[in-house]
Amino acid sequence: MRIKNFTFLVYLPVVFCDVTFRLIAPKGKPSVIVGDTAYIMDVHEFPVFKTTVKVKAPVKYFYSIDYSNTNESHLGVQQEQFERELESGEETLNEFFNRKITVKEHPALPRAYDKYPKYNPSKLFDDTHVATVLINCDVAAINNLHQNPTSEEKIHGVEFIYATPWSVRTFKNATVGISGQSTLYAAKLSYKVSNLKSDNSKELYKRTGIKLRAEHMDASFLRDKIYSDILYSLGVPTPQNKFARLYINGDAIGLFDLSDSVSNQRYLRETLNDGTKFDVENPLYKADYYPPDAWGDLGYYGDEPDNLKYAIYYYKGKSMDSLDQDLAYQRSLEMNKEYLIPFLKQISQYPGGNLNFDIEMFLKFMAMEFMGGAVDNYWNRPGNFYLYKNMNYNNGQWLFLDSDFHYSFGIGGDKLNEYLSSTVDGFTSVNDEDGIGPERPLLDNIRKNPDNEKLFTEILTTLIKTSFHVDAIFPRIDSLAELIREDAIWDFTLPRVSGYPGAEDLQFTEADFENQINNMEPGCEELQVNIPLKCWIKNRGLNTASQLGIEYPNTPDNSKGTVETLVQSNEKDAASRTQVSMLTMVIITLTFTLLF
């Protein structure tokens, strides 16, 4: 067959196709502008609006939002100041107003060790996009929560909406409270959300509870995320996270780190038991840090369960959910006597005696605390971790589960240059302010065993060769920074909601965002506060390699493959099922018209 009158193809009429435009708009009435015409968009599934327009491919367009009938009517009609282009397909993804990037793939980290065998990943932590979270609740209740962030009050019956470029999930009966400890006194608050379960038992990607971390102390927003990514490469069970922009009752709150809640039973079963329900109550403790009275050093202080030194370990087992304060206290004492104190006694007798504990997992967490400069975790300020006795696996081994990594990679107090230049053996001596001393009974006793010390050195060496190598982690940092840059700058402009008197309100700018990520100028490693992210990683890797007597590798080791992030591929496929090139369709139509 041949095409007849081929030279006349250029004179054929243009073929138009229907294209559906989709926009996430928490507030206001959006429109899409194609050419010189504005097409009003209608609610598809809130907060997603859509409209279908007959256009020719490729199509250029942008969005506007009319705020006239909102509490921000003074904004009038806002238009995007850049142009979008859809080269092919019959619909866009769920895009977001004034954000150029909707989806971005990131360079994967080299895998340092195999993943934890019982870990079951969740699509919730697809980090190729910034999710949109909407919390809708009683106005008076949320105002009271914001005015009294230390009250431990919770709001029930909350509508929680989670929107991505491909889907929307809505939960009508969520519970919301303020999260954190030191962050309770920040102007930008953090939140905890639970009961994410619909009437038909649907959950949020295998999660019923999450945390929304404000990252108010980190101008880069990246430290917690990068820390967790590297831990994930080590093959330890650790809370995953991604970025999300938060709106409450339609008002912009800011950019947040959406993270797992370690004490959530759904998280524990997905992370430590292949998603299978536990058939017994596994002991779970959260350790804290309150010098001079007590801190979570995991030391043994006698057999009395009500010893003040043990009050720093909060029992979080499932049975506590239904108990009042008095019964909960009694339950804690019972569990201390039966489980916690015998374990602490084992620690005190090791290596002379048996220790029913996952030592390798613990040493991986400690290696990362040192490499990442985690100044608010066990090794430096004993606290911010969980102890979990998994009765279903490995003869009921105790597990150390580290958490809360925002004070890392060069932020969190002063003398950070001393932490950066410290040796492994001198790491705890930098913290001389709280009078707790350098002893860490669990780590100290484990390292007394030569085999454990050899393993610890191997873990540090492997980190430097794989996921902590600058040529592995820097491209990922750059990619994540590009994804969130517009949201971070937007966050810096927003009013804060805390009513706590004298709340800490750190002010950042776009320049701070860039500096805290990229500054590696000579002398950056000598800063006592706010050492930039890349500066810390580069210098810590070089310093530690020198301590270990190894050469810093020219390239990262990818021999074990890379760390995979579970993405929402099934939803992507559904959203793009009709996305055949419009130009291809035009050519096919014309070709068949002109064939013999």
pLDDT class for 200, splitting at 50, 70, 90?
Answer: confident
**What confidence tens digit (pLDDT) does each residue in 118-154 have?**
999 999 999 999 999 999 999 999 999 999 999 999 9
pLDDT class for 42, splitting at 50, 70, 90?
Answer: very high
**What confidence tens digit (pLDDT) does each residue in 236-251 have?**
999 999 999 999 999 9
**Crossing angle between the packed helical segments 359-372 and 450-465, to the nearest 10 degrees:** 50
Residues 420, 531 contacting (CB under 8 angstroms): yes
pLDDT class for 57, splitting at 50, 70, 90?
Answer: confident
CA distance 215 to 4: 65
CA distance 377 to 595: 72
Q: How many residues does the chain have?
A: 596
**What confidence tens digit (pLDDT) does each residue in 481-491 have?**
999 999 999 99
**What confidence tens digit (pLDDT) does each residue in 86-112 have?**
998 999 999 999 999 999 999 999 999
Please give the distance of CA 157 from its chain centroid, rounded to a whole number: 25
- Count Cβ neighbours within 10 Å for each residue of 263-277 and write b for 16 or more, e otherwise: bbbbbbbbbbbeeee
Residues 508, 219 contacting (CB under 8 angstroms): yes
Q: Which domains does the chain have, with CATH numbers?
A: 6-90+581-594 (2.60.40), 123-548 (no CATH)
Tokens of 51: 């409209």
CA distance 480 to 105: 9
Report residue 468: phi and psi, to 5°.
Answer: -90, 0
Helices (H), 299-415: 325-335, 341-349, 359-372
Q: Is the confidence at residue 304, as pLDDT, over 70?
A: yes
- Residue owning tokens 């390699």: 545
Q: Can you list the pairs that 491-497 forms with residues at least 24 positions away whose Cβ atoms lie under 8 Å? A: 491/221, 491/254, 491/255, 494/252, 494/253, 494/254, 496/187, 496/188, 496/189, 497/146, 497/187, 497/188, 497/189, 497/248, 497/253
Identify the pLDDT of residue 14: 59
**Residue 498 one-letter amino acid:** S
Identify the pLDDT of residue 10: 46
Identify the pLDDT of residue 591: 42
